[in-house]
A = this chain, B = another copy of it.
């Protein structure tokens, strides 16, 4: 069995009002070292099977079909055996 940790974030050119709001809130809380913040999504997917390359291909396809919107988002993931 594998655990895929998937990070999905907006492409750098896409406006991120949620991130801007959070960065402003951090500044108001006194964190003046924050330069900028981008908000995204995180998924932990448990995948049955023993074939690492098949699991990797599956996760890639999941990201492209459902987890991320490839028009405005990028994704990255790590796969670990559990």
Q: Chain A interface (Cβ within 8 Å of chain B)?
A: 1, 5, 7-9, 19, 22, 25-26, 29, 31, 33-49, 54-55, 58, 61-62, 65-67
Contact = CB atoms under 8 A, between A and B. Distances in A.
B35 A1 contact: yes
Given A29-B65, A29-B66, A31-B62, A42 B44 contact: no
Given A35-B1, A37-B45, A41-B41, A22 B67 contact: yes
Nearest to A25: B66
Most buried by B among A22, A37, A48, A61: A37
Contacts of A58: 31, 33
A46 B19 CA distance: 12
